[in-house]
Amino acid sequence: MSQVPDCNNAVHPDPCIIVIFGASGDLTARKLMPSLFRMFRKNYLPEKVAILGCARTVLDDAEFRQAMRARCCAGQDNDEAWALFAEKLHYQPIEYDQEESYRHLKSAITKLQEKFSTGGNLLFDLAVPPLLYSQVGEMLGRSGLAAAATDTAWVRLVVEKPFGHSYESALELENNLHASFSEEQLFRIDHYLAKETVQNILTFRFANQIFEPIWNRTHIDWVGIISSETLGVEKRAGYYDDSGVLRDMFQNHMMQLLALTAMEPPASFKADAIQNEKVKVFTSVLPFSGAENNIVLGQYDSGSVNGEALAGYRDEDGVKADSRTPTFAFLKLDIDNWRWQGVPFYLISGKRLKEKCTRLVIRFKEAPLAMFKGQIGDHLSGNRLVLSVYPEESITLSIQAKIPGPRLCLRTGDLHFSYSQGYDDFVLDAYEKALLDCILGDRTLFWRQDGILATWKLVTPILEDCEGESCRIQQLHHYEAGSWGPQEILPTIREIVS
Ligand SMILES: NC(=O)c1ccc[n+]([C@@H]2O[C@H](COP(=O)([O-])OP(=O)(O)OC[C@H]3O[C@@H](n4cnc5c(N)ncnc54)[C@H](OP(=O)(O)O)[C@@H]3O)[C@@H](O)[C@H]2O)c1
């Protein structure tokens, strides 16, 4: 492999204050703060930076630092680094709907700006339940905090998924946020997109001349995209039972994987050029027909993994005993454009499946058989290209080869590339990369408004079809926890995961 330049230190994030709403919550403790601490230790945070946690829970700076330390440093010996990082951490109690709270917030921000010389740059992160997004956005606008104080300063708002619950609610949320923030200020985070291997899908497709000419309906038979989990709903039953797999995985992550696989080459690697091509994919997907073989919904029953007994979905804490929420979905989508017409895209995602994996499988058409027909019969497996995001970060291309010996017999072998080849570890994990891009103002890996609305337009009719009482009962298949999903769809899943 040729020598690569040192790309890792070539970023210069602006000084800023990071304000986290919902700083007493799960996302802050599990993802945001540990990511910020790791970024600090790797020198990816600006030197002049302060982090201000806000929530209704009343804490002072010392208590906030203590709570965050327990989550960031558990079992690790990094006292020195933590002591330096903790100096940057502050806390301001807030009532999300009270104007007076935002006046206090503003003066806390002003003091931190002076103390840390951060200029007017502000990054607000909405780590609060979605029902508060519009309210906090509006209050930031009314208090004057949404507007940059100078021509050179910036103010950005990070929005965590879910971005709405349906097309109508997503549109309402977008309108509310846009009342105070411009599109350029909004960073709708999908940490999936920031995974190195997901970013690599575009590099693989467009930086390698050999694949692009065959990336179309002439050569490809079908495309499979799977994201499976072994976990059940864990502690998120309240959210999940109301959302189900279609909202939790398909409207966002699965649609992004679909877009990266199917999009046309963008004019440049810039955010808007990439988003334009993604939106074209979303708007080219044929509307959901409701045909039975285009959709399979499932819900897990009890089962076991590695000898451990697992409860069924309806027996999980916080799930309604008669819940009909799907925990598994298979969708067959058709993209009606020049490149993809007639190529089915199989999208599969579910909880409590046999293995945790995320992969794209491109199945090429069978080679013409004439010269082998006498020896091997009518079928020669088409080549399979597997872009694996998890557990292994790799690319595998299956090829046909001759078995050594006097007769012509074929076997399938693999050409394999692992992303860790030449690297011990990825420099930034997905959340760190997403946060860094927010500070850098790079929107390439974030959702744009038209993409959100286009995907909701696609998914909402499917939801309506599935959530109508009679339809849902009819379509919900039960599967054993720890299996690969409903029997009806096992052959297709096996083709994708084998
Ligand atoms: N947790 C994750 O792994 C994860 C992953 C992806 C996306 N997200 C999204 O990120 C956001 C934050 O998630 P989270 O898990 O951290 O949420 P959370 O723990 O349920 O809530 C965060 C904080 O918001 C405040 N809060 C909760 N319910 C409230 C209510 N009804 N009214 C007013 N304040 C309330 C609480 O703080 P105070 O009471 O102190 O104000 C709580 O500590 C959500 O939109 C979630 O969908 C989370």
Q: Which residues in the chain are classed under CATH 3.30.360.10?
A: 193-425+448-497
What count of other Cβ atoms lies within 10 Å of the Cβ of residue 361? 21
Residue range 117-121: mean pLDDT, rounded:
96
Higher pLDDT, 184 or 200: 184
- pLDDT tens-digit series, residues 52-63: 999 999 999 999
- Residue closest by Cα to atom 42 of ligand 1: 25
**Mutational test site, ligand 1, from 56, 128, 134, 136, max ligand atoms within 8 Å of CB:** 128
- Please state which of the ranges 44-48, 266-270, 317-321, 419-423 shows the lowest mean pLDDT: 419-423
* Smallest CA separation from ligand 1 atom 44, residue: 129
Is residue 461 lining ligand 1, measured as CB closer than 6 Å? Answer: no
CA distance 242 to 21: 23
Confidence of residue 5 (pLDDT cuts 50, 70, 90): low
> pLDDT tens for residues 292-307?
678 999 999 999 887 8
Residue 252 CB less than 6 A away from ligand 1: no
Across 461-466, average pLDDT: 87
Sign of CA dihedral 115, 118, 120, 123: negative
Mean pLDDT of 126-153: 96
| Residue 462 Cα distances to 57, 116, 296, 331, angstroms | 39, 50, 11, 10
| CA nearest to 340, candidates 284, 400, 277 | 284
- With a cut of 70, say whether residue 253 has pLDDT above it: yes
- Pinpoint the residues of the chain covered by CATH 3.40.50.720: 16-160
Lowest mean pLDDT across 92-106, 157-171, 360-374: 360-374
403 phi, psi to nearest 5 deg = -75, 130
Q: What is the pLDDT of residue 1?
A: 44
Give all strands (DSSP E) within 43-108, no chain letters: 49-55, 89-93
Reported as a single tens digit per residue, the pLDDT across 368-421 is 776 776 666 667 788 999 999 999 889 999 998 888 888 887 888 999 999 877
Q: How far apart, in Å, do the first and last CA atoms of the chain sit?
A: 29
- Please report which confidence band the pLDDT of residue 256 belongs to, taking 50, 70 and 90 as the band edges: very high
Q: What is the pLDDT of residues 200-247, one digit of tens each?
A: 899 999 999 999 999 999 999 999 999 999 999 988 898 899 999 999
Mutate to test the pocket of ligand 1, among 19, 20, 24, 27 (most ligand atoms within 8 A of CB): 27
What's the gap in Å between 128 CA and the centre of ligand 1?
4
Q: CATH homologous superfamily of domain 193-425+448-497? A: Dihydrodipicolinate Reductase; domain 2 (3.30.360.10)
User: Is 253 marked active-site?
Assistant: yes
Residue 424 pLDDT grade (very low, low, confident, very high; cuts 50, 70, 90): low
Looking at ligand 1, which atom is closest to the CA of residue 31? 3
Q: Is the CB of 128 under 6 A from ligand 1?
A: yes
CA dist 151 → 119, 148, 324, 395 (Å): 11, 7, 52, 45
Q: Domain spanning 16-160 has what CATH number?
A: 3.40.50.720
The catalytic residue among 104, 191, 253, 379 is 253
Distance CA 17, CA 40 (A): 14
Q: Is the CB of 127 under 6 A from ligand 1?
A: yes
pLDDT of residue 2: 46
Select the more confidently predicted residue: 11 or 49: 49
Residue among 20, 26, 31, 193 whose CB has most ligand 1 atoms within 8 A, to mutate: 26
Quick one: pLDDT at residue 429?
A: 86
DSSP class of 350: E
For the segment 151-159, the average pLDDT, to the nearest whole number, is 97
